[in-house]
Amino acid sequence: MPSTRKHKLIIVESPAKARTLSRFLGHSYKVEASQGHVCDLPKSQIGVDIDHDFDPKYITIRGRGDILASIRKEAKNASQIYLATDPDREGEAISWHLAHILGIDEKEACRIEFHEVTKKAIQDALKKPRTIDMGRVDAQQARRVLDRLVGYKISPLLWAKVKKGLSAGRVQSVATRMVVMREREINAFIPEEYWEIAALACDPAQKGKQTAFPVRLTQMGGAKAELSNGEAAEKAAAAIRKASFKVATVKVSERHKSPAAPFTTSSLQQEASRKLNFSTSKTMQVVQQLYEGVDLEGEGTQGIVTYIRTDSVRISDEALSALRAYIPARYGATYLPETPNVYRGRANAQDAHEAIRPTDVERTPERIKDSLTKDQFNLYRLIYNRFVASQMAPAAYETMTAELEGDGLTLRFYGEHKVFAGFTAIYEEGSDEKEESVETNLPAWTEGMKISVRDVETIQHFTQPPARYTEASLVRALEEKGIGRPSTYAPTITTITTRGYVSKEKKRLFPTELGEMVTGMMEQYFSPIVDIDFTADMENRLDEVEEEKLPWKQVIREFYPSFAEMLGVAEKEIEKVEIKDEVSDVTCDKCGAKMVYKMGRYGRFLACPNFPECRNAKPIVTYIDTPCPKCGARLMEKMSTRTKRRFYGCERFPECDFVSWEKPLADKCPKCGSYMIEKRSRKGEVLHLCANESCRYRESVAADTEAETENE
């Protein structure tokens, strides 16, 4: 006879999280996954009733019918239903829709919230269910309706006037404009020449092996040394060579360097880009796996990091206590500061969630390495080390500044020497700028000491324009300007690249001709939509909605009239723009026409201009200067259709089967005569490496400035 015992139903978003929760909870619970949103505005129409106070028209998303049928079936047999979607605006809206579908009273305490997928966190959440937070729901509705109005009103205009398939968006158009504006700055930049003088200084009385220290010219004749041309630099260098120098001043002090805060979504994306070479979308994909649960040997499935969409740097009191007990036990008492390190988040940061941290500080990366993929391990180690370092003592450096004077010239030395590692024993934050380490032994100079100066060198420089954005630096800029929220950074960048507005080369983001054209049109006819301050202010308005200080429809009512006016002007004044495809010198092998360049999801490709009558298309063939190591023919740079990874192959394929994932070089290995390949380390170092695995001779070369430097 079947059991009539009823279970409790928990509804989460992802199947992976559902599997993790099922392992934590007993047979008295059933866990179902909604697989994200179950209701949304229809794709086939605008879905917002403008004439009736902007009422949204929600429908069941196509493909969610079977999922909802399964959830309804389980709900009928459930004694209690808990809505456990993600703890943010989108998650709250999903719970709200599910409550309507399942007929749950809006006053019922059915919503549970947890910020880490651990057994304790789930059990604690089940003890304190709450009602659905309508402030969060309304903020999500306001954002959704705003984005739908902007996207569905402007995009058809772009289709009609420019090119089919284009789109505009409240955040994506601003992000595109930022890339375009940076390119304009670079194009308008006029470099200015300047020179500096470097030399080596040491104590001439020192016997035996001398240690020389780098010094730079700072003053001439009591004024700042400003050398604008080579002639002035050579004159200054000659004066230094003739002069006799003494130590005028010596200042020795101590500098302390404090650790960085635990990760937010934005800072994690930036650091994973710098240290792991991850794109923003890859970072979010991998960290989602760590949050939802991984199968750990001896522990079962566990969520090993806290909630991943956050702009808060706060950590819980419980996590702080555990970490402050762990640090002295693992590293020694000197590595624990007397009081906890306190971090301040951004002014408009949402503080509902903690920073991204490991759910258990005792779960070290090395302990669970065998249970993780390579990407999971590297990202978890980054999160873990940053979290532990955030509550460690500062690093201490002994610093020394000395000025050498002679014949009206002043040379300056600065150096520092680490005397206590502090948090740097486990972690040091990456930087977007190329930094020269100044850590060194310090000279034993005293005031009045005679100093010998040699190897005087003139160095020419030119002022540099701002660097183009990378994904990481664009995320940082969006966050600093208050554009978007943690959940929107990665999808925004994905959208502007797949739409063909921005292209990526060597990690740098370049605006395409199409991106510049559409941005110019948006600036002329929809300037508030692409105005950074306007967009940031709109984010603040959405925050006010979440805090229930402002009705969500009021935001739309204030926005729409002027927007509708802009639409009317644009429809009348924008003339149709004909974008002519760039013609290549490649002949279509099906109809004989000259093929044209097109932009696709994975970049540019060649297509027949006679589409749709002729549908021939082919990848763009790029040759490199290196001959094929097997047969001497040309090598082609290609893209794998499966992994989207670049590789190199012989143009005579299949007659010649040479292929390499690494870029072959024309140089031969000086040890074994095999061909060399080029590899780039995570620190930006370029290596020339022998392709022969039994040899593996290597040599370092200077990395190109564009690939290394990000001086935003």
Check: CB of residue 519 under 8 Å from CB of residue 512.
no
User: Is 307 assigned a catalytic role?
Assistant: yes
Distance, CA of 355 to CA of 179 (rounded, Å): 29
- The catalytically annotated residue of 58, 82, 291, 307 is 307
Tokens of 556: 């739309």
Q: Which of 95, 94, 97 is nearest to 110 (CA)?
A: 95
Distance, CA of 348 to CA of 311 (rounded, Å): 9
CA 118 and chain centroid, separation: 27
Q: Which residues of 367-404 are buried (b: 16+ CB within 10 A; e: fewer)?
A: ebeebbeebbbbbbbbbbbbbbbbbbbbbbbeebebbb
Distance, CA of 104 to CA of 91 (rounded, Å): 17
Q: Which of 323, 268, 267, 317 is nearest to 290 (CA)?
A: 268
Tokens of 518: 């559409």
Q: Can you state the angle between helices 552-573 and 513-525, rounded to 10 degrees?
A: 110
Tokens of 622: 């790029």
Whose tokens are 């089967």? That residue is 657
Check: CB of residue 474 under 8 Å from CB of residue 179.
yes
Q: Which residues pair with 198 in a beta bridge?
A: 216, 457
Cis peptide before 612, with omega less than 30 degrees from 0?
yes
Q: Which residues of 8-34 are buried (b: 16+ CB within 10 A; e: fewer)?
A: ebbbbbbebbbbbbbebbeeebbbbbb
Q: Which of 495, 496, 475, 14 is nearest to 268 (CA)?
A: 475
Distance, CA of 281 to CA of 279 (rounded, Å): 5
Give the residue numbers annotated as catalytic, written as ranges: 307
